[in-house]
A and B are shown apart, each in its own frame.
Chain A
Amino acid sequence: MTRILEVSGVTKQYGGLVAVNDVSFDVDEGEILSVIGPNGAGKSTLFKLIASFVKPTRGEVRFKGERISGLAPHVVARKGVVRTFQETTIFKGLTARDSVVVAHHLRSHVGLAGFYLGTAAARRDEEEFGRSADEILDFLGLGEVRNEIASTLPQGSLRALGIAIGLAANPKVLLLDEPFAGMNHDETQHAVELARAVRDRGVTLLLVEHDMGAVMKISDRIVVINFGVKIAEGTPAQIQSNDKVIEAYLGVEDDTIGL
């Protein structure tokens, strides 16, 4: 297994608040790794740091040995590290198909001028994008709604659309932002299968998630974060029996019950 993503000593400080504190872990190619932790643990900041939407105060992130932290987000996406967003982040006015087609832009062989002039090469690209978009939409079960305007789609479809957009960008590593949030049992099962299918296409998956159940089912390995600090790392079995993890999650539950 080769290491595809290395997170080394990443820290993010906002004034006096340390959101992420010296977190390090590696991701192997082809694995599904989940980052979990209670709410407010710093998961989403870590997520943004890896995708380079935020610059680390200290530490770095490397992709295939090359440093990506601090680069512009679109550059990182072009290298192959693509993130998805929560379902409210879409192109409201575009159809599902159009959104996915646009996301193929990374794969174009032709410059903007070519697209403007409509050269033969540009048209070939467009046909290719269309085909690929259809394939991805079918793969994710969105074939039926492909020509619907994104803002009219139900939440579940929007999630899938977010992943479709991510896949269109031809990622080596796909960062999924809380893909199981708010799902019932059947939906979760379906999403787990989908995630495995994506991995089988050759995409390494890094999830940030809050829902323990789904994470246990799907992950090869898990990293646990609390208060910005990594408190555990290991297989699902190891994590489930890890005292610190139990304390972190149970501690939170006690508060909510009011004991």
Chain B
Amino acid sequence: MLMSRSNSLTAVVVFLVVVLIIVPLAISATHRTDLFYTLSSVALLAIASGGVWLTFFIGRINIGQGAFALMGGYVSAILIVTYGVSFWLSLPLAGLFCAGASILIGLPILRLRGVYFAMVTLVLTEVVRLLTLAVPITNGAKGMVSIPPPGELSIFGLTLIPSFATMSERNEAFYFLSVIAMCLCFAALYRLVQSRVGRLFVALQQNEDLASSMGLNVPALRVLAYSISSFLGGVCGAVFVAITQSIYPSSFTIADSVNFMLYCFLGGLGFVFGPMLGTLVLYFGWDLLFATGEYQLLIYSGVLILLMLALPNGLLSLRKFNWRRS
């Protein structure tokens, strides 16, 4: 373990307090409510990057997460708009749809490794984009707009979450939605990695032949990891749709897929919370650079290159992480 149990618990509590109490108060106080939107984006992109991290964990380079973000977004949008499903139901359904689709795609392609797998996933984002242009139900190039915000979530008549339409501070509400989703997803990922299932993934990433020889169903385990990853991508897309209330074929592109990988990598691939850090630094960095106008991409990519040169193994490599159990 990186830290002792009590230290970990303290860290988690501190993190939650900062993220759920201190940050919102600070933002409200300074009236920079646009930051709510920025941080919501960070949280959602972190979720998608977390999925990419999981595929790295089983030894594959996944540059196709944008495909599932797009897919999840569209599925959620279609369920809400065309079928009148509540967002609270369409969110998990979108995730499950993506997981299912990824099982179908994953079964043939997960046999590929290294660059080959990466290239196939790169193409996936384009495939989904072209599909959304071609299929009638998605409304083609015009995209889907005026998607209603999340409605009420009530169980047995008790209102757990009021309808977003009634909220005055919608940006803040979306912030909480995104951040809580992120915390839940990463908690689940952390548990996965720490559990025996995580050990199995490590085994198969370290040596597939050896893992097979001890009875691990390597193809099935790979597909499992990939489907969880894609589920997370779908969740990211679905919540994005709730916030922006629209979706277009260009909502998630290959550039996004590459970015997810960058966020993971910079945060450090050895640590499950790396994607959160990487997304925060890079996305926030990108956003802050907006003030530089036309030089934004130049400076951003320049800094990225410098970071790669200085820290070829990511930010969290600054701290050694090994798998030794105490």
Interface residues of A (CB under 8 A from B): 51, 53, 72-75, 77-78, 82-85, 89-95, 97-99, 101-103, 105-106, 108, 112, 115-116, 118, 122, 126, 147, 149, 165-166, 168-169
Contact = CB atoms under 8 A, between A and B. Distances in A.
Given A115-B195, A116-B195, A95 B215 contact: no
Interface stretch (B144-152, B206-214, B240-248): B206-214
A116 B197 contact: yes
A126 B196 contact: yes
A92 B216 CA distance: 17
Contacts of B281: none
Interface stretch (B89-97, B114-122, B251-259, B317-325): B317-325
A112 B197 contact: yes
Contacts, number: 105
A122 B213 contact: no
Contacts of B325: 95, 97-98, 147
Interface string B191-226: 110011101101100110111111111110000100
Contacts of B197: 112, 115-116
Contacts of B217: 72, 74-75
Q: Is the interface of B mostly helix, strand, loop or mixed?
A: helix
Name which of B200, B210, B219, B325 has the most chain A CB atoms within 10 A of its CB: B210
A92 B59 CA distance: 14
Given A95-B324, A112-B224, A126-B196, A73 B203 contact: no
B206 A168 contact: no
B324 A91 contact: no
A91 B210 contact: yes
Size category of the binding interface on chain B: 20 to 34
Contacts of A93: 202, 206, 322-323
Contacts of A116: 191-192, 195-197
Nearest to A53: B209
A90 B215 contact: no
Interface in B163-217: 191-192, 195-197, 199-200, 202-203, 206-207, 209-217
A94 B323 contact: yes
Contacts of A101: 199
A195 to B, nearest CB: 18
